[in-house]
């Protein structure tokens, strides 16, 4: 029984968040190895093992394709491109010897699948769906695969391989804020967990004949949960809470425990896995952005131990790119991208409606003072208007932070005077940042205009623009520019343009 369970779980690779030159570390003979280079990745890696001494690792590359390498028991293979184009990190699972199945959200937001059949990789197969999160996968037996993801309606959706064909997509209802976690502890059994719209943990299970009702398990989650099982009828679920500590709740076979703090200070979603009975390892990115580990050995929890791997460069996973759909909706597009990092799907039209649009046109009084709307409280002018023609302008950080939080996003900080180095550290910590810059990537000293509500507003038209910072290395930053597309901008240029609007930014979870 235990041997089958190990194959079914799909092991999570022990890596920190992706860096430009990624690293991997291995547990071997009672100790962790040193970090070793493992490619240029733009997503967390996933791994699965179909037998003793075998580990297959998958991640999205800088070309958005799927990349793969394997440990054959003695050495690592080189990186191999499996092609495709993806907007999420992959998930991988093995249901038997010499079999691996890999899934990810495609650039079309559909689910895509590739499988290792024992001698070759299959072609990529589209499985449809409209995903707004990375998928989760579990297998409860040979030839069985169950895949879960959040849909555009924020419900949990499910598709299954039954051994001969894929089922249709099925809504399991609920309302969830991010990617689910799925695990199987035995044949015919799957448990799925997700962060609900109330930020509590919610649970639904396949019992072998039917899906259970959704069950609230409480807690105050600030990210996606991770679930693991070390034996039949045993479940352990982990999540970060509002104190940035790791918290856990467990099913002991007859009842759910209360929530228990495991301490630590983690900066992102945890990963959990079990590789033998009564053993769980939980990994999380610490406040130093390095990888930290805590383990259950059957009797007690270990202390937190640092595994190093602090990144000096990164390209964030799971940040979708969107162009601005209106001539002036750059701030809304930038927030749309940042929220997509945590699988929150909104449209720019929805954001504008919730921000509020003050369509009154600007005018200049006889004393030469420009009067217009207040970008600190609403969108100023027509989103399809013109800054040059003074028919439209934009909005500033308070409105972006307000609606981002209303959609379930966690705004870690927002305001003016946020130093460029703070932006870089936030991105290295796995957080996209919406920043206000000059459209032409130059510094412009700003003037002022008088808002209709009496506030003096800093103003440098027609240069106001917003982008999402999603990557950083020693000399450059990667911005998703909703007008021009993804751009690497050298830090000196970025910092000049960023200074134009008084270092205005919003850091998103």
Query: 120-166: per-residue pLDDT in tens?
Result: 999 999 999 988 888 999 999 999 999 999 998 889 999 999 999 99
Strand partners, 476: 490
Strand partners, 189: 186
Give the pLDDT confidence score for residue 42 in this predicted structure: 65
Greater confidence (380 vs 30) lies with: 380
- Residue 9 — pLDDT band, cuts 50, 70, 90? very low
Mean pLDDT, residues 464-483 taken together: 94
Q: What percent of the chain has pLDDT over 70?
A: 90
- Residue 309 — pLDDT band, cuts 50, 70, 90? low
Give the pLDDT confidence score for residue 40 in this predicted structure: 55
pLDDT digit string (tens) for 405-432?
A: 999 888 999 999 999 999 998 998 889 9
Closest CA to 224 of 197, 195, 204: 195
CATH 2.120.10.70 for domain 2-315: yes
Give the pLDDT confidence score for residue 284 in this predicted structure: 81
Kind and range of the H or E run holding 98? none
pLDDT digit string (tens) for 323-371?
A: 999 999 999 999 999 998 877 889 999 999 999 999 999 999 999 999 9
- Residue 227 — pLDDT band, cuts 50, 70, 90? very high
State if pTM tops 0.85: no
Would you give the end-to-end CA distance of the chain in angstroms? 40
- Considering the chain, what is the average pLDDT of its residues? 87
Asked if residue 260 has pLDDT above 50, the reply is: yes
Q: Considering only 7-11, 110-114, 390-394, 463-467, which range has the smallest mean pLDDT?
A: 7-11
Q: Considering only 133-147, 243-257, 278-292, which range has the smallest mean pLDDT?
A: 278-292
Radius of gyration of the chain (CA): 24
Three-state secondary-structure class, residue 339: helix
Q: Residue 294 and residue 262: Cα distance in Å, rounded?
A: 9
Q: Considering only 12-26, 299-313, 438-452, which range has the smallest mean pLDDT?
A: 12-26
Q: Contact, 181 vs 202, CB < 8 A? A: no
Asked if residue 475 has pLDDT above 80, the reply is: yes
The architecture in CATH of the region 330-508 reads Alpha-Beta Complex (3.90)
Beta-sheet pairing, 485-490 with 215-216: unpaired
Give the pLDDT confidence score for residue 24 in this predicted structure: 47
Give the pLDDT confidence score for residue 464 in this predicted structure: 97
Asked if residue 1 has pLDDT above 50, the reply is: no
Q: Residue 75 and residue 331: Cα distance in Å, rounded?
A: 47
Q: Residue 313 and residue 327: Cα distance in Å, rounded?
A: 32
Domain with CATH 2.120.10.70 in the chain: 2-315
Domain with CATH 3.90.70.10 in the chain: 330-508
Three-state secondary-structure class, residue 331: helix
Greater confidence (500 vs 133) lies with: 500
> Which range is most confident: 86-100, 110-124, 292-306?
110-124
Strand partners, 146: 138, 160
- Residue 310 — pLDDT band, cuts 50, 70, 90? low
């Amino acid at each position: 029984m235990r041997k089958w369970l190990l194959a079914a779980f799909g092991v999570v690779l022990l890596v920190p968040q992706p860096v430009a030159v990624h690293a991997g570390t291995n547990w071997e003979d009672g100790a962790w190895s040193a970090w070793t280079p493992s490619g240029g990745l733009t997503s967390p890696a996933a791994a699965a093992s179909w037998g003793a001494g075998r580990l297959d690792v998958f991640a999205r590359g800088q070309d958005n394709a799927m990349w793969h390498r394997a440990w054959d028991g003695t050495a690592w293979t080189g990186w191999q491109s499996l092609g495709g184009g993806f907007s999420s990190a992959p998930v991988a699972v093995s249901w038997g010897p010499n079999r691996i199945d890999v899934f990810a959200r495609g650039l079309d937001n559909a689910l895509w699948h590739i499988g290792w059949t024992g001698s070759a990789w299959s072609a990529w197969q589209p499985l449809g769906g409209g995903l707004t999160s990375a998928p989760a996968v579990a297998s409860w037996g040979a030839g069985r695969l169950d895949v879960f993801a959040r849909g555009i309606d924020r419900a949990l959706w499910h598709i299954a391989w039954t051994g001969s064909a894929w089922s249709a997509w099925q809504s399991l209802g609920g309302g969830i804020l991010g990617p689910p976690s799925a695990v199987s502890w035995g044949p015919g059994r799957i448990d799925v967990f997700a962060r609900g719209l109330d930020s509590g943990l919610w649970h639904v299970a396949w019992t072998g004949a039917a899906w259970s009702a959704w069950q609230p398990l409480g807690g105050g989650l600030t990210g996606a949960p991770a679930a693991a099982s070390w034996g039949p009828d045993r479940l352990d679920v982990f999540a970060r809470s509002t104190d940035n500590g790791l918290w856990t709740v467990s099913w002991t076979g007859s009842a759910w425990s209360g929530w228990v703090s495991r301490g630590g200070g983690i900066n992102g979603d945890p990963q959990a896995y079990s590789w033998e009975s009564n053993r769980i390892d939980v990994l999380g990115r610490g406040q130093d952005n390095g990888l930290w580990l805590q383990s259950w050995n059957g009797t007690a929890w270990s202390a937190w131990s640092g595994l190093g791997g602090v990144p000096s460069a990164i390209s964030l996973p799971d940040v979708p790119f969107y162009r601005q759909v209106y001539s002036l909706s750059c701030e809304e597009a930038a927030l749309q991208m940042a929220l997509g990092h945590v699988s929150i799907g909104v449209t720019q039209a929805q954001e504008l409606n919730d921000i509020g649009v003050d369509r009154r046109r600007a005018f200049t009084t006889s004393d030469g003072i420009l009067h217009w709307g207040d970008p600190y409280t609403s969108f100023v002018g027509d989103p399809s208007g013109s800054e040059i023609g003074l028919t439209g302008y934009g909005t500033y950080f308070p409105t972006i932070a307000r609606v981002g939080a209303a959609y379930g996003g966690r705004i870690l900080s927002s305001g003016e005077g946020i130093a460029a180095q703070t932006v870089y550290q936030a991105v290295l910590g796995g957080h996209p940042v919406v920043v206000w810059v000059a459209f032409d990537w130059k510094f412009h000293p700003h003037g002022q205009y008088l808002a209709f509500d009496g506030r003096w507003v800093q103003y440098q038209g027609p240069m106001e623009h917003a982008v999402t910072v999603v990557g950083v290395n020693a000399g450059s930053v990667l911005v998703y520019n909703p007008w021009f597309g993804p751009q690497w901008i050298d830090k000196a240029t970025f910092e000049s343009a960023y200074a134009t609007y008084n270092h205005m930014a919003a850091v998103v979870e």
